[in-house]
Amino acid sequence: MLKKIPPLISAELLTILAEMGHGDDLVLVDRNFPGVSVAASTVSGQCIQLAGVDTTQAARAILELFPVDTFVDVPVRRMAVVGQPEAVLDVHIDMQQALDAAENRAVTVEAIERMAFYEAASRAFAVVQTTEARPYGCFILKKGVVFD
């Protein structure tokens, strides 16, 4: 056991987060996302499963360790609702609140079309899949720099 590591951060996930560098993308997705098949194309080839947690819970834990990029205008992307690209669902609101609280600033989140999301996810570093039941709980977070 380690001090100050959130309990839901497994050794496998901790390794992935530590191996990532500035500008690498982490995909955090719901239970409906094809995590294993998309992860096969990622840099690490890994899909880390977080059972019993939703994307917001996972994000809060990850964001205790993971800096969000400040060098890009849009450091977080989310999957847009099919047929309603401007829709903002509760899962999106919850993630925005988690991001803003973790970063002590307003973090820009952009919606991208479903197939574009899959393509971007396949180029990421790794996939973290939760058991989030709410649809469209899929996000791509760009890792930033630790300044302290």
CA atoms of 90 and 13, how far apart (whole Å): 26
Q: Residue 4 and residue 64: Cα distance in Å, rounded?
A: 9
Active site residues: 22
Question: Is residue 109 within 8 Å of 99, Cβ to Cβ?
Answer: yes
**Per-position DSSP letters for 42-87, written without gaps between them:** SSS--EEEETT--HHHHHHHHHTT-PBPSSSS--EEEEPBTTBTT-
